[in-house]
């Protein structure tokens, strides 16, 4: 299991996340250098190996897989999400994040997407690490979900 840490800072990966209906995919602009990829289903978290910082998400996610659910933007702080280094993680590789993060939710009224457990517990920490992309980290440093604000 991968461990994620966070650092509170006003600096985040600035850009724009878009969902392309015709391609069934998320894209982040502008592209940032990244060379490690953590896969949640077909959604990819791009990591830069020199800092181990998560830069943004991208990837395939057909709306037909989304479960309609009333969602609210979690209380969050701006910061960096950092993947814990270990000997098995190598530059240029993609890794499956094996966990219960398999379900995808969408609030069509609020235009909020979530992959993972959309419920936020009091002890969880939510960090906006890229423009309109919020990761929730559990107290044991596991990733709980990722929220994407599509407005």
Residues 3-54: tens digit of each pLDDT? 999 999 999 999 999 999 999 999 999 998 899 999 998 999 999 999 999 9
Percent of residues, the chain, with pLDDT higher than 70: 97
pLDDT of the residue at 87: 85
pLDDT of the residue at 102: 76
Residue/partner pairs of 137-142 with CB below 8 Å, 24 or more apart:
137/4, 137/5, 137/6, 137/81, 141/3, 141/4, 141/5, 141/84, 142/1, 142/2, 142/3, 142/4, 142/99
Question: Per the structure, how many domains does the chain have?
Answer: 1
Residue range(s) defining the domain that contains residue 131: 4-149
Q: Indicate if the pLDDT at residue 138 is higher than 80.
A: yes
pLDDT of the residue at 151: 80
Q: Indicate if the pLDDT at residue 124 is higher than 70.
A: yes
Structure-token match 């991968």, residue found: 2
* Residue 65: strand, helix, or coil: helix
pTM summary value: 0.95
pLDDT of the residue at 52: 97
């Amino acid at each position: 299991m991968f461990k994620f840490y966070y650092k509170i800072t006003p600096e985040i990966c600035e850009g724009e996340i878009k969902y392309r209906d015709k391609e069934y995919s998320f894209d982040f602009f502008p592209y940032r250098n990244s060379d490690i990829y953590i896969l949640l289903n077909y959604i990819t978290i791009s990591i830069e190996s020199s800092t181990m910082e998560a830069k943004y998400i991208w990837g395939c996610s057909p709306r037909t897989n989304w479960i309609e659910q009333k969602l609210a933007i979690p209380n969050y702080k701006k910061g960096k999400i950092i993947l814990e280094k270990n000997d098995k993680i190598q530059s240029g590789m993609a890794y499956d994040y094996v966990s219960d993060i398999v379900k995808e939710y969408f609030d069509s009224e609020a235009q909020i997407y979530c992959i993972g457990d959309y419920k936020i517990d009091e002890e969880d920490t939510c960090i906006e690490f890229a423009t309109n992309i919020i990761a929730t980290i559990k107290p044991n440093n596991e990733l709980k979900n990722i929220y994407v604000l599509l407005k």
